[in-house]
């Protein structure tokens, strides 16, 4: 997923993932469309990327802020091949947001969620490909990232990987969406946490389909 990530996974991770201290509850960005989510005749979502961000974390997490838009102009800034990437994948827009853990618990101190929207499912799938996600695949091939077993029952094309510190990243494509989750391990195996998070979030999106 070069889009993170669509843009560059680690540049985004470093830019958006520095943990901010949990504060009083902040109003999360509200969807710009009413549900059910609008879908084109071709089966693509036509809403905005912030419609599809994490919506419910059981009170364990608070949003760090309102989130940040990542339009195609951002992609051009962070990717040397940005224009070619946009043209090949049909990237339309993106959004990223961070959630901070509000209490002690066996869960990551923070979660970063990125959602990018593309013009087609085929274009979004390219984000996971070796051609357009070289940063991640090169690190997997070189041993800097470990590709983990696929998440059982997820029902979406995806990659799940970890780095030497145990940080896990989940990248998945559903219809014309690219969705990324990551958070620090803090010495705890978080595979199960992120697997459940991905399954639950995808189920929520599917429940809003017409």
pLDDT of residue 15: 34
pLDDT of residue 185: 83
pLDDT of residue 34: 52
Closest CA to 25 of 55, 53, 58, 65: 65
Locate 66 and state its tokens. Answer: 């309102």
pLDDT of residue 58: 77
Question: What sign results for the dihedral spanned by CA atoms 179, 183, 187, 193?
Answer: negative
Within-domain flag for 154: yes
Range of the domain at 46: 2-14+35-207
Instruction: Give dist(CA 50, CA 71) in Å, integer.
Output: 12
DSSP helix/strand/coil, 27:
coil
- Would you say residue 31 has pLDDT above 70? no
Q: Number of helices (H) and strands (E) in the chain: give both, helices first.
A: 7, 8
**Number of domains the chain is built from:** 1
Within-domain flag for 64: yes
Within-domain flag for 75: yes
Within-domain flag for 24: no
- Would you say residue 1 has pLDDT above 50? no
Within-domain flag for 26: no
Mean local confidence (pLDDT), 33-37:
70
- Would you say residue 26 has pLDDT above 80? no
Within-domain flag for 131: yes
Within-domain flag for 172: yes
User: Is the pTM above the cut of 0.75?
Assistant: yes
Within-domain flag for 175: yes
Rounded (5°) CA angle 86-116-1: 75
Q: What is the pLDDT of residues 174-207, one digit of tens each?
A: 999 999 999 998 777 789 999 999 999 999 999 9
Angle between helices 9-16 and 134-141 in degrees, nearest 10: 100
Q: Which residue did the predictor score with more confidence, 124 or 107?
A: 124
Q: Which residue did the predictor score with more confidence, 102 or 72?
A: 72
| Count of CB atoms situated within 10 Å of the CB of 159 | 21
């Amino acid at each position: 997923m070069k889009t993170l990530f669509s843009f560059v996974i680690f540049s985004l991770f470093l830019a958006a993932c520095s943990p901010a201290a949990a504060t009083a509850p902040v109003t999360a960005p509200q969807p710009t469309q009413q549900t059910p989510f609008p879908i084109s005749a071709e089966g693509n979502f036509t809403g905005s990327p912030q419609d599809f961000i994490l919506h419910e974390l059981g009170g364990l997490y608070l949003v760090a802020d309102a989130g940040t838009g990542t339009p195609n102009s951002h992609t051009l800034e962070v990717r040397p091949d940005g224009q070619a990437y946009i043209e090949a994948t049909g990237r339309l827009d993106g959004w990223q947001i961070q959630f901070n853990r509000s209490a002690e618990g066996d869960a990551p101190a923070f979660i970063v969620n990125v959602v990018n929207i593309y013009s087609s499912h085929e274009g979004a799938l390219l984000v996971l490909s070796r051609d357009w996600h070289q940063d991640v695949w090169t690190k997997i091939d070189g041993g800097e990232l470990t590709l983990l077993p696929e998440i059982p029952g997820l029902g979406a094309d995806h990659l799940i990987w970890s780095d030497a510190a145990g940080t896990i990243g989940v990248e998945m494509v559903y219809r014309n969406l690219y969705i990324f989750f990551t958070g620090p391990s803090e010495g705890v195996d978080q595979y199960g946490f992120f697997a459940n998070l991905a399954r639950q979030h995808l189920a929520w999106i599917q429940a809003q389909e017409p």
